[in-house]
């Protein structure tokens, strides 16, 4: 098992967002940020198009595969597939609150079954040549006390887990949508800080509500890492600013990032990928810059058209210079 610790900042796994095109683009912005796949269920991986689901570009490393499942045997099988594909880490989703995920008996609802999660973790670890981490909430409705959180973490710790990514909210499994579960339960950063103080030997990353560089860096006084979610998608250049502050690397221009992305666009278009799958991830590149609205509007209006190609991006780029 690789012993090194992950980078101190990451982009969260986000369904329908952090696909391989997005991850390639984000890697151009930040050499150090840890990237995660979208959650892939064990059922999809074992019975679906596994090569397509696991495909990634070598430039995406360090890259984590996030799995959703609750059967130790199935999870172990998926871990073996992931290791064979060269992923740097595998993460178990214990935080998604959607009804569909609950019906599959995985995600946040598993926080009610610490021993089952520990059994899953042990099976995954035994099958793996890379680290296994878990991503979870502070708790779920009816099981949200600090003592229950400590019990959950200790059960996993005793099974061998050393890497925890904690979304600093509880999940309300009945009555709230996934979007509401990202907004309504209050953020409780202090509980994540307390978790790190109580278990200093564990590697703990904080996730939830991080929207600016200063707040993200301030959290590193209390935890080992921070994980950004939707802000990193809507305003991806924040990763360059974090990279600069944390590692002292030079700030790349947005234009240089886009220029580096274009050969990838050409390659994907040549393989039959629709332009919209490539442009939807770059809409926020010029967030806050003059002409950003024209940039987004042009891409949104033209990328979906039949025969649309690289010229759509170049034309949108030219509009940034327009008065």
Rounded to 5°, angle at Cα 91 from 30 and 74: 145
d(CA 17, CA 37): 9
Give CA separation, 299 vs 1, 86, 215, 238, 323, in Å.
43, 34, 31, 21, 18
Q: With CA atoms as reference, report the closest residue to 147 among 233, 317, 155, 103.
A: 155
Q: Which of 96, 109, 120, 161 is catalytic?
A: 96
Is 78 an active-site residue?
Answer: no
- Give the pairing of strands 132-140 and 163-171: parallel
Q: With CA atoms as reference, report the closest residue to 221 among 4, 8, 3, 5.
A: 8
- Give the pairing of strands 63-68 and 35-41: parallel
Rg of the Cα trace of the chain?
20
Contacts of 319 (CB under 8 A, 6+ apart): 291, 294, 295, 298
**Do residues 110 and 70 touch, judged by C-beta distance below 8 A?**
yes
d(CA 149, CA 140): 10
Catalytic residues: 96
């Amino acid at each position: 098992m690789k012993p090194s610790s992950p980078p101190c900042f990451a982009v969260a796994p986000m369904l329908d967002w952090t696909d391989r095109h997005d991850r390639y683009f984000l890697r151009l912005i930040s050499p150090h940020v840890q990237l995660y796949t979208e959650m892939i269920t064990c059922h999809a991986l074992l019975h679906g198009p596994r090569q397509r689901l696991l495909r990634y570009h070598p430039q995406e490393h360090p890259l984590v595969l996030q799995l959703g499942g609750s059967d130790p045997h199935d999870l172990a099988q998926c871990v073996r597939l992931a290791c064979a594909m060269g992923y740097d880490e595998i993460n178990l989703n214990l935080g998604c609150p959607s009804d569909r995920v609950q019906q599959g008996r995985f995600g946040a609802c598993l926080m009610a079954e610490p021993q089952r999660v520990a059994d899953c973790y042990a099976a995954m670890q035994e099958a793996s040549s890379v680290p296994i981490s878990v991503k979870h909430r502070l708790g779920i409705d009816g099981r949200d006390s600090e003592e229950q959180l400590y019990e959950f973490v200790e059960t996993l710790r005793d099974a061998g887990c050393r890497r925890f990514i904690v979304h600093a909210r509880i999940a309300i499994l009945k009555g709230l949508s996934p979007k509401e579960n990202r907004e309504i339960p209050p953020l409780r950063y202090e509980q994540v800080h307390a978790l790190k103080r109580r278990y200093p030997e564990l590697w703990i990353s904080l996730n939830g509500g991080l929207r600016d560089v200063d707040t993200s860096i301030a959290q590193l006084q209390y935890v080992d890492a921070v994980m950004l979610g939707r802000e990193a998608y809507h305003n991806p250049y924040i990763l360059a600013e974090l990279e600069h502050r944390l590692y002292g690397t030079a700030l790349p221009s947005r234009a240089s990032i886009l220029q580096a992305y274009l050969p990838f666009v050409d390659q994907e278009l040549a393989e039959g990928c629709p332009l919209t799958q490539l442009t939807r991830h770059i809409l926020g590149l010029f967030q806050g810059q003059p002409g950003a609205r024209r940039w987004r509007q042009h891409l949104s209006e033209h990328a979906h058209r039949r025969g649309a190609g690289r010229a759509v991006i170049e034309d949108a780029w030219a509009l940034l210079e327009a008065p």
